Structure 1
Amino acid sequence: MTEYTGASAIVIGGSIGGLTTALLLRDLGFTVDVYERTATALDGRGSGIVLQPDTVRWFTERSTQNLADLSTSTSYVQYLDRSGDLVFREKCTWTYTSWGTFYRALLADFGTEHYHYGEYACGFDQYEDSATVRFVSGRVESADLVVFADGVTSVARERFDADAGLRYSGYIGWRGTLPVRDLDEKTREVLQDAITYDVVPNSHITMYPIPGEGGLDLDDQLMNYVWYRNVPAGPELTEMCIDKRGIPGSVSVHPGQVQDRYVAEMKRDAAELLAPAVAAVVTATKTPYVQVVSDARSSRMAMGRVALIGDAACAARPHAAAGTAKAAADGWALAAALGDAGGDIRAALTKWEPAQLQLSDSLLRRVVSMGERSQFTNTWTPGDPDLRFGLYGPGR
Structure 2
Amino acid sequence: MPKSVIIVGGSIAGLLHGVYLKRHGTDVTILEQDPHAIRSSHNAGICFGPSVQEFLRLYDDTGSQSCQPGVVIRLAYRQNLYWRETGIVRHLTSWGVLYRILRANFDGLPSEAVAAPPAARPGDGVCKYLSGKKVMSVHKTLDGVVVGFLGECGEEGSSAADLVIGADGLHSSIRTLVNAPMVKEYSGYVSWRGTVYESDVSPETARYFQDRAVLSFLKRTYIVCYIIPLDTGSFSPGTRLINWVWYCNLPDIPENNLTELLTDSNGHTHTNTVPSGLVRSEVWQAHLAHMLPLIPGPFAELFAKTDRPFVTMVNDALCSKATFLDGRVLLVGDALATFRPHFALATEQAARHCLGLGKVWRGEMALQQWEKEAVDHATEVWLRSRVMGVGLLRGWVEFLLLAWKYVVFLFARFKTGVWPRY
Q: Provide the rounded CA distance (Å) in 1 between the counterparts of 2:162 and 2:272.
A: 32
Match of 1:301 among 304, 308, 322: 322
How far the C-alpha of 1:56 sits from its partner, in A, is 2.8
Q: Provide the rounded CA distance (Å) in 1 between the counterparts of 2:32 and 2:85.
A: 42
How far the C-alpha of 1:46 sits from its partner, in A, is 0.7
Q: Kindly provide the amino acid, as one letter, of the partner of residue 180 in structure 1.
A: E
Is the CA contact 1:59–1:65 (under 8 Å) kept in the aligned structure 2? no
1:64 aligns with: 61
Q: Provide the rounded CA distance (Å) in 1 between the counterparts of 2:356 and 2:285.
A: 45
Match of 1:310 among 327, 333, 338: 333
Alignment of 1:254 with 2:251, yes or no, is no
Q: Which moved more, 1:263-272 or 1:327-336?
A: 263-272
2:313 aligns with: 292
Alignment of 1:228 with 2:247, yes or no, is yes
1:125 aligns with: 139
Corresponding pairs, count: 370
Q: Secondary structure at the match of 1:367?
A: helix
How far the C-alpha of 1:29 sits from its partner, in A, is 2.4
Match of 2:342 among 316, 319, 329: 319
Q: Secondary structure at the match of 2:89?
A: strand
Match of 2:48 among 42, 46, 51: 51
Change beyond 3 A, Cα 1:80–1:350: closer
Match of 1:103 among 99, 102, 106: 99
1:384 aligns with: none
Q: Provide the rounded CA distance (Å) in 2 between the counterparts of 1:44 and 1:372.
A: 28
Q: Provide the rounded CA distance (Å) in 2 between the counterparts of 1:110 and 1:85.
A: 43
How far the C-alpha of 1:293 sits from its partner, in A, is 0.3
Is the CA contact 1:161–1:300 (under 8 Å) kept in the aligned structure 2? no
How far the C-alpha of 1:10 sits from its partner, in A, is 0.5
| 1:11-50 equivalence runs, <5 A | 11-40=7-36, 41-50=38-47
Change beyond 3 A, Cα 1:351–1:81: closer
1:266 aligns with: 287
Q: Provide the rounded CA distance (Å) in 1 between the counterparts of 2:130 and 2:395.
A: 46
Is the CA contact 2:250–2:256 (under 8 Å) kept in the aligned structure 1? no
Q: Provide the rounded CA distance (Å) in 1 between the counterparts of 2:198 and 2:272.
A: 28
Change beyond 3 A, Cα 1:85–1:319: closer
Alignment of 1:134 with 2:155, yes or no, is no
Is the CA contact 1:211–1:221 (under 8 Å) kept in the aligned structure 2? yes
Q: Kindly provide the amino acid, as one letter, of the partner of residue 333 in structure 2.
A: G
Q: Which moved more, 1:351-360 or 1:76-85?
A: 76-85
Give every structure 1 segment of 4 or more consecutive aligned residues whose post-TM-superposition deviation is greater than 6 Å.
none
Q: Provide the rounded CA distance (Å) in 1 between the counterparts of 2:291 and 2:85.
A: 22
Q: Provide the rounded CA distance (Å) in 1 between the counterparts of 2:374 and 2:86.
A: 32
Is the CA contact 1:84–1:276 (under 8 Å) kept in the aligned structure 2? no
For normalisation by structure 2, the TM-score amounts to 0.83
Is the CA contact 1:253–1:291 (under 8 Å) kept in the aligned structure 2? yes
Is the CA contact 1:151–1:312 (under 8 Å) kept in the aligned structure 2? yes
Is the CA contact 2:74–2:82 (under 8 Å) kept in the aligned structure 1? yes
Change beyond 3 A, Cα 1:133–1:165: farther
2:164 aligns with: 146
1:214-240 deviation digits (Å, cap 9, x = unpaired): 500111111111100011599811221
Change beyond 3 A, Cα 1:217–1:322: same
Q: Provide the rounded CA distance (Å) in 1 between the counterparts of 2:197 and 2:384.
A: 32
1:342-395 deviation digits (Å, cap 9, x = unpaired): xxxxx9543421111111101101100000111012699xxxxxxxxxxxxxxx
1:14-58 deviation digits (Å, cap 9, x = unpaired): 111101101112233221111111111112211001121122322
Q: Provide the rounded CA distance (Å) in 2 between the counterparts of 1:378 and 1:108.
A: 47
Q: Kindly provide the amino acid, as one letter, of the partner of residue 59 in structure 2.
A: R
Change beyond 3 A, Cα 1:148–1:116: same
1:169 aligns with: 187
Q: Which moved more, 1:234-243 or 1:257-266?
A: 234-243
Is the CA contact 2:145–2:161 (under 8 Å) kept in the aligned structure 1? yes
Q: Kindly provide the amino acid, as one letter, of the partner of residue 308 in structure 1.
A: L
Q: Which moved more, 1:155-164 or 1:190-199?
A: 155-164
1:390 aligns with: none
1:181-207 deviation digits (Å, cap 9, x = unpaired): 111112112222221111111111110
For normalisation by structure 1, the TM-score amounts to 0.88
How far the C-alpha of 1:301 sits from its partner, in A, is 0.9
How far the C-alpha of 1:86 sits from its partner, in A, is 1.6
Task: State percent identity of aligned pairs.
Answer: 27
2:227 aligns with: 209
Q: Provide the rounded CA distance (Å) in 2 between the counterparts of 1:248 and 1:153.
A: 17
1:375 aligns with: 393
Match of 1:338 among 361, 366, 376: 361
Change beyond 3 A, Cα 1:300–1:85: closer
Match of 2:73 among 71, 77, 82: 77
Match of 1:364 among 374, 379, 382: 382
